[in-house]
Chain A
Amino acid sequence: MVKWVRRREWPWWQAGILLGLLNLFAFYTANYYLSTSTTFSRAAGMILRLFAPEHVSANAYYQAHKPIVDWQFMLVIGLFLGALLASKLSGQFQLSFVPDLFAARFGQGTARRSGIGLLGGVLLGFGARMADGCTSGHTLSGAAQLALSGWVATAGFFIGGIAVALLVYGRRSY
């Protein structure tokens, strides 16, 4: 067991089964589901509130998604800690900025990675909120509940993702 926990990686089917079971745990204990992206709206509201409190309280989106710390907010913090713990246990934790594959395509420059990454992050945040969920809420949880919204949004995620990834990186090996 200890050896398994410290392994560098688990096969996809073990990780997949555990992820499915974890979702069932969330459904049973919290009456909620694995999901992350609303937390970024709430956090954005918390930050904006420091500068423009009236603006935030008047905004229709923040009225529907209040800038508070809830179960999902803690889940996202836990996600960070869990990944930190897992990578530390297997000795994989290492500070890095430019992923090797990105560097092979665009060079080692951190500015380029920051810029393209930031653009990606903005689109990701905007798209997730417009679609009303991300690969956790819509794909892991929505599709599993057979929600039509989950399957439609998931198709969008991967059609968009595959198109842009092929456009940017092609299919060749680097």
Chain B
Amino acid sequence: MGPLEIAGTARLALGLVTGIAFGFILQKGQALKFHKIIDALRLRDFTIWKLMFTAIAVGMIGIYVMTALGLAKLHIKPTILSANILGGLIFGAGFALLGFCPGTCVGAAGEGRLDGLYSGVAGLLVGAGLYSEVYPYLLPGFLKIGVLGKITLPQFLGIGVWPTVLLVALALGTAIWFLDRIDRGTPAKAESSTLAPSPIQG
């Protein structure tokens, strides 16, 4: 038992195929569209929020069931509060200025959005490269602040895994229901369609 963990050249081919599906789904889900992302951040259109919460809920239940059956292993990134919070906020600022996140900016380029390629991918390479240069200086100080290790929400809260899964699933479900009600109730959709009658839907 255990995950397949395909290796070698087949692993690279598998990455490519998984990526093609990833890009395909994001494109069909309208997650690569600049105005959908900005309007999600402006709290005017919750399509992407609902999509994201659904993906997290399905992923969470599936991952924990598969882990219990020995079909998957958890990959918990360590919590470093200083870096997670400050890096997260810097990321958020970039997210709003570019209008894409790293994955959606590559996908947007695939949709023909050259700003995703020339500004987005170029900026990402510079930003990521810059961090590699700064990293050695952050290592002894900043990155030692708020180190909690590879900890999960149930461990942190001191409650069982399955109750947490249930609680988070309920919370996500409620949020999706609530946001969908707002989406149905506001004319946001009508406005964004008059904004962009062209097939670009920028």
Which A residues fall within an 8 A CB radius of B?
7, 9-10, 12-34, 36-37, 40-41, 43-45, 47-48, 59-62, 65, 69-87, 90-104, 113-114, 116-166, 168-171, 173-174
* Docked-complex contact B202 and A86, CB < 8 angstroms: no
Which B residues fall within an 8 A CB radius of A?
3-6, 11-32, 34-35, 38-39, 41-44, 47-48, 50-60, 62-64, 66, 71-81, 83-115, 118-133, 135-136, 138-139, 148, 150-156, 161, 164-165, 168, 191, 195-196, 198-202
* Docked-complex contact B79 and A84, CB < 8 angstroms: no
- If A83-B23, A83-B27 are given as contacts, then 16 extra A-B residue pairs at C-beta distance below 8 Å, sorted by A number, are A12-B47, A14-B28, A27-B3, A71-B11, A83-B24, A83-B32, A94-B112, A99-B99, A104-B195, A113-B115, A125-B130, A136-B102, A144-B55, A147-B76, A161-B96, A171-B42
Per CB-CB distance, the 3 closest pairs between chain A and chain B, nearest first, are A121-B123, A156-B88, A160-B92
* Docked-complex contact A30 and B131, CB < 8 angstroms: no
* Docked-complex contact A28 and B71, CB < 8 angstroms: yes
Main secondary structure, interface of B, reads: helix
Q: Nearest chain-B residue to A48 (Cβ)?
A: B129
- Report the minimum CB–CB distance from B202 to chain A (whole Å): 3
Complex Cα distance, B35 from A102, in Å, reads: 8
19 residue pairs from A and B, CB less than 8 Å apart: A9-B28, A10-B28, A15-B26, A16-B51, A16-B52, A24-B63, A28-B72, A71-B15, A84-B110, A87-B110, A125-B94, A130-B131, A131-B84, A140-B59, A147-B152, A159-B88, A162-B43, A164-B41, A173-B44
* Docked-complex contact A74 and B12, CB < 8 angstroms: yes
| Given known A80-B107, A92-B111, A165-B96, contact A22–B25 (CB-CB < 8 A) | yes
Complex Cα distance, B198 from A169, in Å, reads: 21
Complex Cα distance, B192 from A152, in Å, reads: 31
| Given known A15-B28, A117-B115, contact A157–B53 (CB-CB < 8 A) | no
* Docked-complex contact A24 and B66, CB < 8 angstroms: yes
Q: Which residues of A contact B85 (CB under 8 A)?
A: 152-153, 156
- Report the minimum CB–CB distance from B199 to chain A (whole Å): 6
| Given known A31-B4, A100-B196, contact A121–B132 (CB-CB < 8 A) | no
* Docked-complex contact A121 and B98, CB < 8 angstroms: yes
Q: Which residues of A contact B92 (CB under 8 A)?
A: 127, 156-164
* Docked-complex contact A139 and B23, CB < 8 angstroms: no
| Given known A16-B29, A81-B19, A93-B112, contact A121–B126 (CB-CB < 8 A) | yes
Q: Which residues of A contact B31 (CB under 8 A)?
A: 15
* Docked-complex contact B132 and A62, CB < 8 angstroms: yes
* Docked-complex contact A47 and B125, CB < 8 angstroms: yes
* Docked-complex contact B3 and A127, CB < 8 angstroms: no
Which of B107, B126, B148: most chain A CB closer than 10 A? B107
Complex Cα distance, B198 from A142, in Å, reads: 36
* Docked-complex contact A87 and B106, CB < 8 angstroms: no
B63's contact among A91, A92, A144, A154, by CB below 8 Å, is which?
A144
* Docked-complex contact A129 and B16, CB < 8 angstroms: no
- Report the minimum CB–CB distance from A30 to chain B (whole Å): 6
Q: Which residues of A contact B201 (CB under 8 A)?
A: 92, 100
* Docked-complex contact A164 and B119, CB < 8 angstroms: no
A79's contact among B23, B48, B90, by CB below 8 Å, is which?
B23
Q: Which residues of B contact A159 (CB under 8 A)?
A: 88-89, 92
Q: Nearest chain-B residue to A104 (Cβ)?
A: B195
Q: Which residues of A contact B151 (CB under 8 A)?
A: 147-149
Complex Cα distance, B176 from A31, in Å, reads: 29
